[in-house]
Structure 1
Amino acid sequence: MVNDPALPGAPVLLDRDAAAALLRPAVEAGGGGLEEITPHHARYQQGRRLAVRYGVRTSWPDGRRTTETYAALIDVEDLPPGIAVLHDGAGTRIGVWAYPYDPFLPGLPAAAAPASVRRLLTELGAQDGPVRITPRVYRPTSRAVLAVTGVGGSCYLKVVRPDRAEALHALHETLSGHLPIPASYGCAGRQGIVVLEALRGEPLGAALSRGAPVPSPADLLDLLDRVADVPATDGQAAPPNDTFADHAATMARLLPSETSRATAIAAAAAGEWVPDRTVHGDFYEAQVLVE
């Protein structure tokens, strides 16, 4: 549970019953009935905002039952326009929306619609024809990834905030010539949609869980060494020790019993940072494909 004085309504979003009561009017406004709610993902930025993604089991007047995706947001800043604004009864304003209508990802509705995706891919030179879209990742307010299969093959759409799309496209264009990462086929910058190559393989974590052969630790370290040899494309990152104290403070909000240990670890890790190479920054088992 989040214990953050700047976000007093956070417990509402993380409690299943309270969140169900909050989301029920939004589900009913869309013509459905809320049967069950399951929190799937939370993005917490200490002292700033909390966004939670839910799977909502929904009943419809025609007898269908589906699982819909909703998101709720508490933010110390003003909530964005175009979303439902609800109240928790204690003065906290909470923004709610149904997937794919994320106000921070204005290109997501287009990326989730076969007709608009078909047009985008055709404009980029793909063979025209029907497409099938499968959502893969959705992080409310931040990003989404959708798999697309068409007559000419497969690709992925990565949807980010519009001000990040061109840089992401350029990064993939540059690095795909040096590293085994997806090439970028193009982007719709104003919408924040980047079209990426679909690489073969399964995530390393999935292969590990089923006991399949996987690369050796030396192979993974070699991949990181290759990253280190690639010239940085987007400037020098902030030293990681700049954020150690923030991470410790976040841990204290989430697990108060671990405050002392988190603070001690942050203090022990602090020190002079001398960057001298390019790093991945997000290298873990879900980011590595194996076959």
Structure 2
Amino acid sequence: MDDGSRLLTGPDVEPLLRVAVEHAGGQMLNWSLDHVDTNPEHSTTATYLAQVRWPYGDRSELLGVSARSGELVESDANAEIFADGNREVAVWIYPNDPDLPGLPRAAFPDQLATLLNEENTLGRPVTAEQLSLTMIGYRPRRRAVVKLVVNDPREVFYIKVLRPKLFSDVLGKHLMLRAAGVPAPEVALHTTDNLMMLRELPGRAMAKAIFEPGDPCTAEQLIGALDAMPASVSELERRPPWSDAVAHYAGMVTAALPDVGPDLDWASRTITAGLAGYPPGDEPTHGDFHEGQLRVADGRLVGILDVDTIGPGRRADDLACLIAHLSTIQRMNPQQAAKVRDLLARWVPVFDERVDPLELRLRAAAVVISLATGPYRGQEPNWQETTRQMVRSALALVRQVA
């Protein structure tokens, strides 16, 4: 089925972008593809960087377009609907994302200052000039994270912008972990339009600390932090492990880069068969445990971020996720690559003592395959070779136990 990927990644999308900008009162001067998110045979969402001439002057804008193989969904109506032949597509200009109603308030300092003052979040009034905003991550129609720095005195927060149907669940998870003493971020503010403002955790990101002298923390601390999660986490809704969708992710990678298809088909079949005998598990798990989610200080783990995904599962999934992310860090120099290899060489044997080594490697390979969709989605330079390298990493993990 036509999921719209050909239209949204090719030159034929230009008339849609031009019409959308003209409808908003501007003139598009040029554009380039920024990000692609494809669910093969179902839907595609893409964003584009465009230079637009408005009555008040030229400005760079981010445009979003969603196309579907079937009918549009309800929230598409929150965007502008335009027709391309027999297909209707939803088009918006950032920050008016049709699934993230709170994003406009999080994107502009004046609106955010008004919100903070109305809620007395900081215990003092602030002006827009005291606020500095940086977009940390934006997955169109899924979520966004904005870094907020308040000056005089300096305080740092992260604002999560979520879809309405997910908000109460994510808020409850943060509050649950905080009440149990797990070092998750403190919720400083939450709103009816699905903004969650989190106070910055102490320490620094492990993603940076791994390249500094010494160890960022120990393997035992990583396992201990996960094992310290309250039993109530196991009563939450189960989130399928990455390995359950390995064939889906393999299909996504193959659609973008067909020459890796045979290797990915073998790997996904081997992973699925190798994990078939393992039960789902009922340990409290993080669900997306990797170096970007962890804060460290003085060789200790001091904080855990992005707890949206916590729920029942297997400890091997969390540890495999960390191995997969460390195994696929891009653009390292030789010294950095050597440091990561050394950490993995010392940490993985410790993980092997806590979980089944075969399970650990197969689950890590599945996560690597899911990560291999990223270079194409983000339209990274030389994404083809980066993807091939990640596929080779997944194959190496499978071959260790196959």
Scaled to the shorter chain, the TM-score interval is 0.7 to 0.9
- Residue number in structure 1 paired with 2:391: none
Partner-residue secondary structure (3-state), 2:77: coil
> For 1:224-276, what per-residue CA distance to the aligned partner results, in whole angstroms no more than 9, with x for missing partners?
44123313262333354432232233333233332222221111112223324
CA distance in 2, matches of 1:154, 1:81: 35
**Deviation of residue 194 (structure 1)?**
0.8
- Residue number in structure 2 paired with 1:267: 269
Closer, same or farther in 2 for the Cα pair 1:166/1:120, shift >3 Å?
Answer: farther
Query: Which runs of no fewer than 5 residues in structure 2 stay unpaired?
Result: 298-402
TM-score, normalization: structure 2? 0.62
- Residue number in structure 1 paired with 2:60: 67
- Residue number in structure 1 paired with 2:161: 159
- Residue number in structure 1 paired with 2:255: 253
Closer, same or farther in 2 for the Cα pair 1:212/1:196, shift >3 Å?
Answer: same
- Residue number in structure 2 paired with 1:138: 138
Mean Cα displacement is larger for which, 269-278 or 281-290? 281-290
CA distance in 2, matches of 1:38, 1:221: 46
CA distance in 2, matches of 1:14, 1:97: 17
Query: Which runs of no fewer than 5 residues in structure 1 stay unpaired?
Result: none
- Aligned residue identity for 1:82: N
**Deviation of residue 27 (structure 1)?**
1.7
**Deviation of residue 160 (structure 1)?**
0.5
* Preserved CA contact (<8 Å) 1:53 1:139: no
- Residue number in structure 1 paired with 2:112: 117
* Preserved CA contact (<8 Å) 1:74 1:93: yes
Equivalent residue runs for 1:132-281 within 5 Å:
132=131, 133-150=133-150, 151=152, 153-176=155-178, 178-188=181-191, 190-199=192-201, 203-205=205-207, 212-213=212-213, 215-216=215-216, 219=218, 222-231=221-230, 232=233, 234-270=236-272, 271-274=276-279, 275-281=281-287
Percent identity of paired positions between Structure 1 and Structure 2:
26
**Deviation of residue 154 (structure 1)?**
2.7
Mean Cα displacement is larger for which, 112-121 or 167-176? 112-121
Partner-residue secondary structure (3-state), 2:78: coil
CA distance in 2, matches of 1:265, 1:56: 39
Partner-residue secondary structure (3-state), 1:248: helix
**Deviation of residue 101 (structure 1)?**
0.8
**Deviation of residue 95 (structure 1)?**
1.0
**Deviation of residue 166 (structure 1)?**
1.7
Partner-residue secondary structure (3-state), 2:12: helix
* Preserved CA contact (<8 Å) 1:143 1:159: yes
- Residue number in structure 1 paired with 2:29: 35
Partner-residue secondary structure (3-state), 1:103: coil
* Preserved CA contact (<8 Å) 2:77 2:90: no
Partner-residue secondary structure (3-state), 2:97: coil
Closer, same or farther in 2 for the Cα pair 1:226/1:258, shift >3 Å?
Answer: same
Partner-residue secondary structure (3-state), 1:67: strand
TM-score, normalization: structure 1? 0.82
**Deviation of residue 102 (structure 1)?**
1.0
Closer, same or farther in 2 for the Cα pair 1:116/1:180, shift >3 Å?
Answer: same
CA distance in 1, matches of 2:15, 2:213: 46
CA distance in 2, matches of 1:130, 1:53: 31
* Preserved CA contact (<8 Å) 1:155 1:198: yes
> For 1:84-142, what per-residue CA distance to the aligned partner results, in whole angstroms no more than 9, with x for missing partners?
222334x2222110011111111112222434423432315322211423332211110
CA distance in 1, matches of 2:196, 2:139: 16
- Aligned residue identity for 1:74: A
CA distance in 2, matches of 1:224, 1:88: 52
CA distance in 1, matches of 2:12, 2:296: 41
- Aligned residue identity for 1:128: P
Which of 67, 81, 86 does residue 82 from structure 2 map onto? 86
Aligned length: 279
Higher share of residues assigned helix: 2
**Deviation of residue 204 (structure 1)?**
4.4
- Aligned residue identity for 2:79: I
- Aligned residue identity for 1:81: A
